[in-house]
Structure 1
Amino acid sequence: MAAQCSARAARRSPSSGCPKTPGNATTVPMGARLARAALTDDHSRKRSRSSMRSTVITTAVLAFAFAGAAAQEDQAPAPLADPAELAFEQGRWEDAIAEYREILEEYPEDRLSLLRIAQAQRELERHDDALATLEAARTANAPEAMIDLERARNLALLGRDDEALAALDAADHSGVRALALVESAPEFDKYRELSRFKRVERNVRARVYPCEGIPEASAFDFWLGRWEVRMPDGTLIGTNTITKDDGGCAIHERWEGAGGSTGSSVSFYLPSRDEWRQVWTGSGGTLFDITGKAGNGSMHMEGTLEYVETDRVVAFRGTWTEGADGRVRQRLEEFDLAAQTWIVWFDGFYRRLD
């Protein structure tokens, strides 16, 4: 139980009464700290003191330090995972229930263990027991959203469809964010075409992926895809793969030049500024950071370009334009200080490969 106490104390209340497990890297044994203090003090003693007395004191303190270190080595290491969590992860549902009940005996205030017990009971198809456990979890003030989502799963498995849908509505009202469960739990398959279920699913997704609900965050979608890129004269200069990731919040670019160069960028919409930003890094030591807005089938951004090798920073701008034939033109320009004019840095025409 001592080993379990250490692991559980780390995830429960710090007032649990379980001893803290010392860290391997930063905790210095008491004996070693005393030895260091004694040695430091010994060096500051007056030379007139007896060297024999200093040797005796130092030897005694070092012996105490070694004893303390040995005692620490004899301590059993804390388990890597709580036995209850491990049983749950491995699908040993009866063991998990027993372990979580043991935790509740030690920590009656642990509300999450009740939720875990209910989940294990559902896996064992003991749905009435699970519903009773969930009511106990509600009384213990466990998260309402997860309680109602679990209730919906059990009620659906029992064929109590109206109650299941009502529980889903309650979970949605409480702000449930378990999108993966809502989208994939097989017991909800019979509800997926219902407008009531679709509304819940849509609301949960909006909470988890808020960028998907921002119209302006889709203004650069015309650039998405895998493309071959050619110069105005038709010369192939590379391929570019543009993907939308991170819940629709970011557009990632992965450039592969025909001559072996590479580069990548991330573009994202900033609602607070109502503008887009793109940050690029290229294998040739080119870095640019530009911001701007979309409009009329194009994206225009301005900022600075930095050349790593020459430690030079110049004004920079770029425009992406969607053509009627589905192609995209990307034109990038830098400002030539000597000529006091904009010069073409890159001019590519994109044709889809996918």
Structure 2
Amino acid sequence: MRQTTLLTFLLFIAIQTFGQDLRQTALDQYNKQDFKAAAKTYQQYLKENEGDSLDWYNLAVSSARISDHVEALDYFKEAKKHNFPPAFISFGMAKSYAALKEETKMIEVLNEGAGNGLNAIALLKNDPAFEAYQSSTGFMEVLKKVEQNAYPCLGSANYRHFDFWIGEWDVLVNGRKVGDNSITMAKGGCAIHENYTTAGNYAGQSINFFDPIDKKWHQHWVGSGGDVYNYLETKRESGLLQFQSKFMGPTGNISLSRLTFTLNDDGTVRQLFEGSTDEGKTWTPSFDGLYRKKK
């Protein structure tokens, strides 16, 4: 009796070990991009073992990579049942439907993926599998949803409030050019970069962004003369954004700086700096500049 029990136990261990060895072999083949071998090994492993979501997903991808798209779709569905991240499932299934020229189903799974957070906008635009669908109305609508997932700031009015400052500008004071300013949007639209230069020694840069925690705009400026301002929004209206910051002068004295941007009707932008040495009771203009788009 004991001998039979021991043999049964050893057989069970051997089967388990063989299964895990087979699974590791499949994974190694997959990582080496030997997809034909990986598909065969995963099929053998999953025939005898339950497997997890990654096993089914890797089998689906392997099958798709060797153009077995009908089988790949079934395996993607199995991976989905085993709770593999749905956005990945939708993207993989969409590629197989695209290869099978089933556009309606491709759009359907991509819309589902977009609803589940699919944000692979670059892949959708550049993957050869979707090249034939780039001008399709349904596909373009999906791209908008996926782009919104990838870059949520682009669709937010709060983040877009300061877009009127974006551009390549000549900076004028009393009609005389005093500098150049390049204002650009960071990728994704969550920040605005400033790169200010003059004909002389002075230059500076800032990063501008909306903070979703305090729900205010911030500007962090550093100038070539060592001047640092950490501006915080104090007023925001259509075509207007105002900031305030503490400022330490050359002698170590602390004062206040107020910075106001105003969009003019002709598309120019007024930039007004004001200073206060009495904690904001009174303000004195220190720079009144006009931004005019370069021609």
Shorter-chain TM-score bucket reads: 0.7 to 0.9
Q: 2:225 — aligned with what?
A: 284
Equivalent residue letter for 2:185: K
Post-superposition Cα deviations, 1:178-235, rounded to whole Å, max 9, x if no partner, equal: 222233333334444444333332222222211112113212111101112122241x
Distance 1:238 1:104, change over 3 A: farther
Using the TM superposition, give the Cα deviation of residue 129 of structure 1 relative to its aligned residue in structure 2, in angstroms: 3.6
Give the Cα–Cα distance (whole angstroms) in 2 for the partners of residues 85 and 301 of structure 1: 55
Using the TM superposition, give the Cα deviation of residue 284 of structure 1 relative to its aligned residue in structure 2, in angstroms: 0.9
What are the residue-to-residue correspondences of 1:111-190 with 2, within 5 Å?
Answer: 111-190=53-132
Q: 1:258 — aligned with what?
A: 199
Give the Cα–Cα distance (whole angstroms) in 1 for the partners of residues 38 and 193 of structure 2: 42
Distance 1:210 1:246, change over 3 A: same
Give the Cα–Cα distance (whole angstroms) in 2 for the partners of residues 186 and 199 of structure 1: 19
Give the Cα–Cα distance (whole angstroms) in 1 for the partners of residues 202 and 40 of structure 2: 59
Q: 2:189 — aligned with what?
A: 248
Using the TM superposition, give the Cα deviation of residue 113 of structure 1 relative to its aligned residue in structure 2, in angstroms: 4.8
Q: 1:344 — aligned with what?
A: 285
Give the Cα–Cα distance (whole angstroms) in 2 for the partners of residues 231 and 85 of structure 1: 64
Using the TM superposition, give the Cα deviation of residue 330 of structure 1 relative to its aligned residue in structure 2, in angstroms: 1.0
Q: 1:315 — aligned with what?
A: 256
Corresponding position: 1:231 with 2:173: yes
Distance 1:145 1:233, change over 3 A: closer
Give the Cα–Cα distance (whole angstroms) in 2 for the partners of residues 260 and 266 of structure 1: 21
Give the Cα–Cα distance (whole angstroms) in 2 for the partners of residues 320 and 343 of structure 1: 16
Equivalent residue letter for 2:178: I
Using the TM superposition, give the Cα deviation of residue 97 of structure 1 relative to its aligned residue in structure 2, in angstroms: 5.7
Does the 8 A contact of 1:252 with 1:266 survive in 2?
A: yes
Give the Cα–Cα distance (whole angstroms) in 1 for the partners of residues 45 and 191 of structure 2: 42
Give the Cα–Cα distance (whole angstroms) in 2 for the partners of residues 253 and 181 of structure 1: 30
SS, match of residue 220 in structure 1: helix
Corresponding position: 1:200 with 2:145: no
Using the TM superposition, give the Cα deviation of residue 264 of structure 1 relative to its aligned residue in structure 2, in angstroms: 1.2
Does the 8 A contact of 1:84 with 1:100 survive in 2?
A: no
Using the TM superposition, give the Cα deviation of residue 95 of structure 1 relative to its aligned residue in structure 2, in angstroms: 6.8
Does the 8 A contact of 1:93 with 1:120 survive in 2?
A: yes
Distance 1:95 1:304, change over 3 A: farther
Give the Cα–Cα distance (whole angstroms) in 2 for the partners of residues 95 and 184 of structure 1: 28
Does the 8 A contact of 2:107 with 2:142 survive in 1?
A: no
Using the TM superposition, give the Cα deviation of residue 317 of structure 1 relative to its aligned residue in structure 2, in angstroms: 0.5
Larger CA Rg, structure 1 vs 2: 1
Q: 1:268 — aligned with what?
A: 209
Q: 1:36 — aligned with what?
A: none
Give the Cα–Cα distance (whole angstroms) in 1 for the partners of residues 104 and 253 of structure 2: 67
Does the 8 A contact of 2:29 with 2:35 survive in 1?
A: no
Using the TM superposition, give the Cα deviation of residue 351 of structure 1 relative to its aligned residue in structure 2, in angstroms: 2.1
Post-superposition Cα deviations, 1:36-88, rounded to whole Å, max 9, x if no partner, equal: xxxxxxxxxxxxxxxxxxxxxxxxxxxxxxxxxxxxxxxxxxxxxx9667634
Using the TM superposition, give the Cα deviation of residue 322 of structure 1 relative to its aligned residue in structure 2, in angstroms: 2.0
Percent identity, please: 31
Distance 1:194 1:305, change over 3 A: same
What are the residue-to-residue correspondences of 1:35-54 with 2, within 5 Å?
Answer: none
SS, match of residue 325 in structure 1: coil
Deviates more, 1:292-301 or 1:243-252: 292-301
Equivalent residue letter for 1:240: N
Using the TM superposition, give the Cα deviation of residue 100 of structure 1 relative to its aligned residue in structure 2, in angstroms: 7.8
TM-score after normalising by structure 1: 0.65
Give aligned pairs, total: 267
Does the 8 A contact of 1:301 with 1:319 survive in 2?
A: yes
| Runs of 5+ consecutive residues of structure 1 not aligned to the other structure | 1-16, 18-81
Q: 1:87 — aligned with what?
A: 32
Using the TM superposition, give the Cα deviation of residue 130 of structure 1 relative to its aligned residue in structure 2, in angstroms: 2.2
Equivalent residue letter for 2:164: F
What are the residue-to-residue correspondences of 1:327-338 with 2, within 5 Å?
Answer: 327-337=268-278
Using the TM superposition, give the Cα deviation of residue 150 of structure 1 relative to its aligned residue in structure 2, in angstroms: 0.9
Give the Cα–Cα distance (whole angstroms) in 1 for the partners of residues 45 and 259 of structure 2: 60
Equivalent residue letter for 1:322: L
Does the 8 A contact of 1:87 with 1:96 survive in 2?
A: no
SS, match of residue 245 in structure 2: strand
Give the Cα–Cα distance (whole angstroms) in 1 for the partners of residues 245 and 29 of structure 2: 54
Distance 1:94 1:347, change over 3 A: farther
SS, match of residue 124 in structure 2: helix
